Structure 1
Amino acid sequence: MKEIKNVLIVTREYKSSRTPKVGGTGVFYKNLCAELVKRGISVRVFLISKYTFDVEEDGVKIHSVKDIFKANPFLELLRSSTGKVKAFEQIHFKTYLSEKKIISDKISAWIKKNNFHFDIAETHDFDGLALSIPKDIPYVIRCHGSWSVLEKYFGYKKVHKGRIFCEKAAFKSSKNIITISRYNESINKNLFDIKEPKLIYNGIDEKFYKPVENAEIIPESVFYLGNVSFEKGAETLINSFIKLKKNYPEASLHFIGKPNHYPDYIADIQDSEIKNSVYFYGNKSGPEIVDLISKAEVVCFPSKGENFSLSLLEVMAMQKPVVCSAIDSFKEIIEEPVNGLIAREENFHEKISLIFKDDDLRNRLSVNARKLIELKFGIDKMVDETIRYYQEVK
Structure 2
Amino acid sequence: MKEIKNVLIVTREYKCSRNPKVGGTGVFYKNLGAELVKRGIAVHVFLISKYTFDIEEEGVKIHSVKDIFKANPLLELLRSFTGKVKALEQIHFKTYLSEKKIISDKISTWIKKNHLHFDIAETHDFDGLALSIPKEIPYVIRCHGSWSVLEKYFGYKKVHKGRVFCEKAAFKNAENIITISKYNETINKSLFAIKEPKLIYNGIDEKFYRPDENAEIISKSVFFLGNVSFEKGAETLIKAFIKLKGIHPEASLHFIGNPNHYPAYIAENIQDMETRNAIHFYGNKSGAEIVQLINQAEVVCFSSKGENFSLSLLEVMAIQKPVVCSAIDSFKEIIQEPVNGLIAGEENFHEKISLIFEDDHLRNRISLNARKLVESKFGIDKMVDETVRYYEEII
TM-score by length of 1: 1.00
Per the TM alignment, residue 379 of structure 1 is displaced from its structure 2 partner at its CA by 0.1
3-state DSSP of counterpart to 2:204: coil
Counterpart in 1 of 2:260? Answer: 260
The one-letter code matched in structure 2 to 1:345 is E
* Separation in structure 1 between the aligned mates of residue 277 and residue 47 of structure 2, nearest angstrom: 42
Counterpart in 2 of 1:40? Answer: 40
1:178-201 alpha-carbon deviations (Å, 9 max, x no partner): 000000000000000000000000
1:28-82 alpha-carbon deviations (Å, 9 max, x no partner): 0000000000000000000000000000000000000000000000000000000
1:156-212 alpha-carbon deviations (Å, 9 max, x no partner): 000000000000000000010000000000000000000000000000000000001
Counterpart in 2 of 1:115? Answer: 115
Per the TM alignment, residue 273 of structure 1 is displaced from its structure 2 partner at its CA by 1.2
3-state DSSP of counterpart to 1:122: strand
* Separation in structure 1 between the aligned mates of residue 179 and residue 35 of structure 2, nearest angstrom: 19
Counterpart in 2 of 1:198? Answer: 198
Per the TM alignment, residue 393 of structure 1 is displaced from its structure 2 partner at its CA by 0.7
Is the aligned partner of 1:307 residue 2:308? yes
Counterpart in 1 of 2:60? Answer: 60
**Structure 1: stretches of 5+ with no match in the other structure:** none
Pairs within 5 Å for 1:130-209: 130-209=130-209
1:279-312 alpha-carbon deviations (Å, 9 max, x no partner): 0000000000000000000000000000000000
Counterpart in 2 of 1:340? Answer: 341
The one-letter code matched in structure 2 to 1:185 is E
Counterpart in 1 of 2:95? Answer: 95
**Structure 2: stretches of 5+ with no match in the other structure:** none
TM-score by length of 2: 1.00
1:358-386 alpha-carbon deviations (Å, 9 max, x no partner): 00000001000000000000000000000
Number of paired residues?
394
The one-letter code matched in structure 2 to 1:174 is A
1:82-124 alpha-carbon deviations (Å, 9 max, x no partner): 0000000000000000000000000000001111000000000
Structure 1 segments (4+ residues) deviating >2 Å: none
3-state DSSP of counterpart to 1:64: strand
3-state DSSP of counterpart to 1:264: helix
Counterpart in 1 of 2:249? Answer: 249
Identity, % of aligned positions:
85
Counterpart in 2 of 1:380? Answer: 381
Is the aligned partner of 1:228 residue 2:228? yes
* Separation in structure 2 between the aligned mates of residue 204 and residue 364 of structure 1, nearest angstrom: 22
Is the aligned partner of 1:296 residue 2:304? no
* Separation in structure 2 between the aligned mates of residue 2 and residue 82 of structure 1, nearest angstrom: 46
1:319-356 alpha-carbon deviations (Å, 9 max, x no partner): 00000000000000000000000000000000000000
* Separation in structure 2 between the aligned mates of residue 178 and residue 142 of structure 1, nearest angstrom: 5
